């Protein structure tokens, strides 16, 4: 519940991957799922539900969600999201962060949200790139 250096986070990930004999990307993915289904479900369920009645609505509202989170934790530096509705069954989620290498964590979060909102979704990472100082990842979600 406090803000800490990214160096601490990355060191924890590296050490956990060694201890668990698990590659870093798989570890980040599993941690993303765990964070939603355990931490967020227990501590922030009302906040998650306030952003949408289902996964699709939550994701469409995601760009505004971190603004609400920042009211509780003004010291955080959240990622940015842009959502494009491609059809009734497909969204594109653009994730921007100054922190490198976290797209597997975001994939895990999306998978966890799919379970949390009881909405089956196929989630695909379709692009990773750099835009200015931001690491950009684009995910396709099919409902």
- Report the alpha-carbon distance of residue 137 to residue 99 in Å, rounded: 12
Q: What contacts 22, CB < 8 A, 6 or more positions away?
A: 16, 30
Q: 112 is in which domain, residue-wise?
A: 6-142
**pLDDT 10s digits, 119-139:** 999 999 999 999 889 999 999
Q: How many domains does the chain have?
A: 1
Q: What are phi and psi of 122, to 5 degrees?
A: -95, 120
Summarised one tens digit per residue, pLDDT across range 59-89 is 999 888 777 777 777 777 789 999 999 999 9
C-alpha dist (Å) from residue 96 to 17, 23, 49, 113: 25, 23, 23, 19
> What pTM, to 2 d.p., does this model score?
0.90
- For residue 137, the surrounding DSSP H or E stretch is strand 134-142
Say if 1 falls within a structural domain.
no
The CATH number covering residue 80 comes to 3.90.1520.10
């Amino acid at each position: 519940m406090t803000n800490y250096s990214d160096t601490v986070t990355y060191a924890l990930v590296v050490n956990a991957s060694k201890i668990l004999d698990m590659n870093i990307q798989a570890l980040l993915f599993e941690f993303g799922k765990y964070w939603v289904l355990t931490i967020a479900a227990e501590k922030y369920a009302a906040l998650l539900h306030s952003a949408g009645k289902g996964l699709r609505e939550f994701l469409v509202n995601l760009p505004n969600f971190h603004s609400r989170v920042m009211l509780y934790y003004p010291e955080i530096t959240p990622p940015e999201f842009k959502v494009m509705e491609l059809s009734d069954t497909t969204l594109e989620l653009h994730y921007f962060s100054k922190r490198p290498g976290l797209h597997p964590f975001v994939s895990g979060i999306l998978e966890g949200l799919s379970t949390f909102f009881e909405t089956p979704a196929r989630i695909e990472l379709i692009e990773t790139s750099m835009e200015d100082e931001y690491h950009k990842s684009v995910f396709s979600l099919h409902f």
